[in-house]
Structure 1
Amino acid sequence: MSKLAKDAAAFKNVLHRQDYTSWHSQPPPAGASSSSSSAVVDDAPSAGSKKNKAKSNIVYSQPADTGTGKDVNTQLIYIINELKRSLNPRRIEDLAFESGVTSLLSDTSLLEKLKSHDRVNYDVKTGLCSYKHEFNFRNKVSLLTEIQRQSRKGHGIAVRTLKEVWKEAPTAIEELEAEGEVFVTRTQKDGQLKMVFWNEIKPNEEEGGLSIEQEFRDVWHSLKVPTDADLLKQLDNDGMQRTAAEANVSKAPTKKKGKKGGAPRQRQVRITNTHLKDTIDLSRDYVHPPK
C-alpha cells in the first residue's frame, strides 16, 4: 500500500471515531500526532482573552457617575434627604460622606446654605445638624396627641407625613383604629393608609358610639325609596299636602340686538360756536373768492 493510501485510511479512521456533539467527549485517536491536539487547544479561546475583551469596552474618558450632581442646589437636596432619613443629629463630616457630597467640607457656600435652610436645625455649640420635622413624636401616646390637635383644627394628617417622623407610625395608627381612637381613610387601589382623623365619639356605653347591630343594618338597606308618582299618590291618600313649588323668578326683559346691515342710527350733532350766532354769518361773510 502506498503512503498516500495509508494517510487517507488514517484520516477516515479519525473522522469515524470523532464525536461532534462534544469536541472533548472522546480522547484523540491512537497514532494522532501531538501537533493536532495542540492545534485544537490553540483554537479554543482562553478565559483571559474574554476578560480582556470585556475590559476593552470601558470608556475611560467619561467621568465617574457620583449621583450628586455639580450644582450647589442639587447637592443641597441630597444632603437634606440624607439628614431627613436620620432620627438623630448628625455631624457635618458624617453627613458629607454618607450623602456622597464630599464638597460640603470645602465649599463654604454650600455649608452656609445648609445651616440657613428652613428645615435644618444647626447647633453652633456642638456643630450638629438635625432635620426640622413638622411634628415631633416618638411613641403611640404622643402620636395620638398630634392627631387630636390637628383634628380640632378641622383637618386630618397624611400618614406619609407621620411615617417620615416615626417609621412605626403606620403600625401604631392601625392599633389606634382597632381601639376606636381614630378614623383612617385608605386608597382604593391597594388599601394603603392615606389620612388619619381623631374619633371624638368613643365606642362605649357612657359616651355612645357603639357599632350598629347587623340586624338593623339589614332592615335599613332593605327599605326602598318609592318613585315620585307613588309618593305623591300616597300623600294624597293620607290627606297630606304637597310642598309648594318655588315660583319662577321673573327675569327682566332683554333687548334684542339689531340685525347686521340695518340702517345706521342718527346721532345728534353737537352745535359748537354758539356764541357767534348773532354776530357772524359764516356762510355769508367768509365765502371763498372765485378763482
Structure 2
Amino acid sequence: MSFLKANSAVRTNAPSPTPSNTSAGSSKRKRPADGAPPVVYSQPMDTGTGEHVFTRLTYVNDYLRERKDKWHSFDEIMGYLNIPPGHVQREQLRVLMRTANDANRISWDSANEKYRYRPKLNVLGPEGLKAYLQSQKSSLGLSIKDLKDGWATVADDIAKMEDKREVLVQRNKDGVAKTVWMNDPSLMLPMDAGFAKNWHMVRVPNTAEELRKALLSANMKAATKAKVIVPGTGQKKRKAIRRNGKQTNTHMAGILRDFSGMRK
C-alpha cells in the first residue's frame, strides 16, 4: 500500500518455543504429589485391528492346535476371543467353524456342540502310524512335516521305531527325518558270514571300459562297444569364406566394383 514505506516495515518477534515462567498468565507445572491418581490422557481411537471375523477364525485354529488333546465348547472358545453374547461375529464364527472343506482345520461334534483341531493326518502316535501305513493301498511315504501337525513328538518317536526296524526313514544331509515308510522286520534276515565275505571280495570295475572287458572275458555280451579313435590326417580344415547373404544385384554386375579379392 502507498502509505507503507520500505524502511518502516512492522517487525513481530517469533514466539518462544518454551514460554517464560515470568510471563503474565503463565504458571509453572508442579510435580504430582505422592499418592495422587495418575493423569489419564486421551487415547487413540480403536482401529479394529485383529477384530475381523477371518482373523479371529485364525486365532481359533491356533487356540485349538495348542490344545488339540481334548474337545472345547463354543462358549469356551468365545470366551478366549472375548466375544460377548449377542455379538454378530458369534454366529458368523459358528458357521465358519462348522464348514466342511479341506482348508478348515476344525472338527465339529454335532452331538455335544464341541470343537477340536483337525490335523492334516489323523495320526497321533506310533500305533496309529503303523495302522495308517498298513491300510494304504500304495507304498507312498508320509511326510514328517504333515505328521507333526497333529503329533508333536513325532521326531523322537520315529527314531525309536526306526531302532526297532518298524519303519524306514529318509533323512536329509543334516540327519533330520523327512519321510517315513512301513517296514517288515520279519523280512530282514541275517546274512551268512561266508557269503558276505565272498561278496565283499568281488572287485567292481572302476570304468565302463574295464566292465566291458570283464564281461567279454566271462563270455558275456556287453551292452557297449569299444571306443574307436579315428586317426586324423593332420591337416587343418580350411574355414570356408562366409558370404554375407544372397547376392541380389546380379543385373548391376557390370557397374558395381568387386572387392572380394581384398579380403584377408
Give the alignment's TM-score, normalised by structure 2: 0.54
Q: For 1:225 and 1:187, locate their aligned partners in 2 and report how far apart those are by CA, in whole Å.
A: 30
Which residue does the alignment assign to 1:223? 203
Alpha carbons 2:123, 2:147 under 8 Å: kept: no
Which residue does the alignment assign to 2:166? 181
Q: Secondary structure at the match of 2:152?
A: coil
Which residue does the alignment assign to 2:118? 132
1:86-97 equivalence runs, <5 A: 86=67, 87-97=69-79
Which residue does the alignment assign to 1:116? 99
Q: For 2:144 and 2:107, locate their aligned partners in 1 and report how far apart those are by CA, in whole Å.
A: 24
Alpha carbons 2:74, 2:115 under 8 Å: kept: yes
From 121, 125, 133, the equivalent of 1:147 is 133
Q: Secondary structure at the match of 1:173?
A: helix
Which amino acid in 2 is paired with 1:197? W
1:40-119 equivalence runs, <5 A: 60-61=43-44, 63=46, 69-86=50-67, 87-98=69-80, 101-103=81-83, 105=85, 106=87, 107=89, 108-118=91-101, 119=105
Which residue does the alignment assign to 2:9? none
Alpha carbons 2:212, 2:224 under 8 Å: kept: no
Q: Secondary structure at the match of 1:165?
A: coil
Distance apart, 1:179 and its partner CA: 0.6
CA separation of 1:235 and 1:166: change in aligned 2, threshold 3 A: closer
Q: Which runs of 5+ in 1 are unaligned?
A: 1-47, 50-54, 246-258, 263-291
Distance apart, 1:141 and its partner CA: 2.3
Q: Deviations over 1:107-151 (max 9, x none)?
A: 12222112224333323442211223344455432332123334x
Flag the structure with more relative contact order, 1 or 2, with Cα contacts below 8 A and sequence separation at least 6.
2
Distance apart, 1:237 and its partner CA: 5.4
Alpha carbons 1:187, 1:194 under 8 Å: kept: yes
Higher helix share: 1
CA separation of 1:184 and 1:70: change in aligned 2, threshold 3 A: same
Distance apart, 1:162 and its partner CA: 2.2
Q: Deviations over 1:231-278 (max 9, x none)?
A: 455556566555487xxxxxxxxxxxxx9898xxxxxxxxxxxxxxxx
Q: Secondary structure at the match of 1:195?
A: strand
Alpha carbons 1:159, 1:194 under 8 Å: kept: yes
1:205-216 equivalence runs, <5 A: 207-210=187-190, 216=196
From 164, 171, 177, the equivalent of 2:156 is 171
Which amino acid in 2 is paired with 1:147? L
CA separation of 1:235 and 1:155: change in aligned 2, threshold 3 A: closer
Which amino acid in 1 is paired with 2:65? K
Distance apart, 1:71 and its partner CA: 2.5
CA separation of 1:226 and 1:132: change in aligned 2, threshold 3 A: closer
Which residue does the alignment assign to 2:145? 160
Which amino acid in 2 is paired with 1:143? L
Q: For 1:261 and 1:62, locate their aligned partners in 2 and report how far apart those are by CA, in whole Å.
A: 82
Distance apart, 1:172 and its partner CA: 2.3
Q: For 1:220 and 1:93, locate their aligned partners in 2 and report how far apart those are by CA, in whole Å.
A: 69
Q: For 1:61 and 1:147, locate their aligned partners in 2 and report how far apart those are by CA, in whole Å.
A: 56
Q: Deviations over 1:189-223 (max 9, x none)?
A: 3x2222111013x25xxx4444797x948964983
Alpha carbons 1:104, 1:111 under 8 Å: kept: no
Root-mean-square deviation (Å): 4.2
